[in-house]
Structure 1
Amino acid sequence: MLHLGEIMTHLRLVLRMGQATWADVVAAHHSGHLTQQDWAEMIQYCRGCGWANRCPDWLDQQEAVAGAPCTCENRQRFAALKTRLEKENA
């Protein structure tokens, strides 16, 4: 059985990873690029991620990065959000 992490812990990780990768999930949600369902799914993927326990240390060492680490379950989602937000702000 898969052990899922605590929801609030992973909500914070998703928010932090979004900030680090310039894929601000709050801004994406407000602008309509991220639905509530999509956001909830990102948190669920994070909760089941085998690398999530190392994520806080990785984030502590980053200010801004081109993308989430390859071990991140939401890597492609962050990249897609970043692209959408960049197009909107161009």
Structure 2
Amino acid sequence: MKPLGDPNEHYWRVQRMAKAVGSDLAAAQTEGRLSDQDWADMVTRCRGCSVTCACSDWLDRAEMDGRTRDSAIPGCENKLVFPKL
């Protein structure tokens, strides 16, 4: 099993990915669509993801061009969660 990555780094990676795909995590929490446990689970899944290096590059490119993406990078452990938020 792959060791989990740094929690702080992946907290911010999930935030960046949500923004890149147009998901508003703060609104989802406020509206009750994202519980504290759901949020923690997202970070934990991200910490164990196998595409983190490619993800960083993908996020850098997404932020540079400023366009909202249709979906997260292939292989993202939270790819199916973001569209629901």
Q: TM-score, normalised by structure 2?
A: 0.88
Question: Does structure 1 residue 71 correspond to structure 2 residue 42?
Answer: no
User: 1:54 Cα deviation (Å)?
Assistant: 2.1
Query: Are the counterparts in 1 of residues 20 and 69 from structure 2 also a CA contact under 8 Å?
Result: yes
Match of 1:24 in 2: 24
Rounded to whole Å, the distance in 1 between the matches of 2:74 and 2:50 is: 12
**Identical aligned residues as a percent:** 41
Q: TM-score, normalised by structure 1?
A: 0.84
Rounded to whole Å, the distance in 1 between the matches of 2:15 and 2:3 is: 21
Match of 1:61 in 2: 61
Classify the secondary structure of the residue corresponding to 1:53: helix
Rounded to whole Å, the distance in 2 between the matches of 1:30 and 1:13 is: 20
Rounded to whole Å, the distance in 1 between the matches of 2:42 and 2:78 is: 6
Q: Which amino acid aligns with 1:34?
A: L
Classify the secondary structure of the residue corresponding to 2:80: helix
Query: Are the counterparts in 1 of residues 14 and 42 from structure 2 also a CA contact under 8 Å?
Result: yes
Rounded to whole Å, the distance in 2 between the matches of 1:42 and 1:34 is: 10
Count of aligned pairs between the two proteins: 81
Rounded to whole Å, the distance in 1 between the matches of 2:22 and 2:44 is: 21
The alignment's C-alpha RMSD in Å is 1.0
Structure 2 segments unaligned to the other structure (5+ residues) = none
